[in-house]
Amino acid sequence: MKKYLIILMIGQLFAIPGFPGFNAWTSSSRLSMAGAGLLIKIPTAASGNPATLSFNRLFSTSFVHYPAGINSQAVAIVFPKFNGELTYVLRRLSYGIFEGLDENAIPTGHYISSDTWISAGYSKHLKNYPISYGFAGGFFYSNLDSHLATALYFSSGMIWYWKEQKSALGLSIDNMGFILQSIDGSIDLLETTENKDTLPVKISLAITKQLAHLPLTLSIDGVHSLYKDYNDIFIGGIFQLPYDINLKWGTSTRKLDQNIRQDIWRSILGATGFGLNFNVGSTKTGIGTYFYGIGGWVTGLDLSVRF
């Protein structure tokens, strides 16, 4: 039962019907900023503007742990190609192992439930203009016991840079595509037959700014759902600390939806993330945590290596 509740948290608290895994945390760096920082290159994250650039060969992996034994793993590689960057990503969200029961409550054996994404992307900075563009697409596979759902999805975006102001503005449209195979609504735990198995198409507008008098890169991101009329605003930042240590933080308007008014600390910390990144040579290690207002912490670990 606890596992079902956590799955509901992933899907319902993000206010998007359809596959909840598209909105799950698969990167410690992204959950540390509570979903903000869409213009910062985080290859293992489930969200981000496809036009972002790293300007490095990069191998990245991330592990995120939810309550009740739900976990995500992701691995990505970024390298220059075709005068731009290619990014390949494999992400998996495991909801755990469940005990199967028939209509007479007789055990039928154990089964697993998970979501898997295989994706590739390309991004490039225009030669004569302070603009980068990019696109990404892939294959999504979800299973619940022997029931399967598959989909193809596609995202694209652009980013405009102002070098003197040390700022950028980005626009992207994410999760376009179509369902190849749909899970039978009779066993769909999260959705009604009317709303089941829908890709969460959304438009994102993001701004980053490196402040002049603080060692802080500030990010403000707005997301609008094209399927269901709702908007979210995210705000987060990265503080540059001594000894190549970065402090990440973030929160969002989801704090209002997650506020159950049980106590003041849950109201304050709801939908808030914190994290630290440690840079040693070509290696970057990060740890992060995110708190749901209804209760429960999500924790993660990132590792990136330039090569």
Architecture of the domain made up of 2-306: Beta Barrel (2.40)
Instruction: Please report the pLDDT score of residue 35 as a whole number.
Output: 94
- Taking only the tens place, the pLDDT of each residue in 55-106 is 999 999 999 999 888 999 999 999 999 999 999 999 999 988 777 766 766 6
Instruction: Please report the pLDDT score of residue 257 as a whole number.
Output: 74
Residue 259 burial (C-beta neighbours within 10 Å; 0-12, 13-18, 19+): middle
The pLDDT mean for the chain works out to 86
The domain ranges of the chain are 2-306
Report how far residue 268's alpha carbon sits from residue 82's, in angstroms, rounded to the nearest whole number: 47
- Taking only the tens place, the pLDDT of each residue in 175-219 is 999 999 886 543 344 444 444 567 889 999 999 999 988 999 999
More confident residue, 16 or 125: 125
Task: Average the pLDDT over each of 23-27, 51-55, 88-92, 247-251 and give the range with the smallest value.
Answer: 23-27
Residue 100 · residue 110 · CB < 8 Å: yes
State the pLDDT confidence band at 164, using cuts at 50, 70 and 90. very high
- Taking only the tens place, the pLDDT of each residue in 137-150 is 999 999 877 778 89
- Distances in whole angstroms, Cα of residue 251 to Cα of each of 66, 115, 136, 281, 282: 18, 26, 26, 30, 29
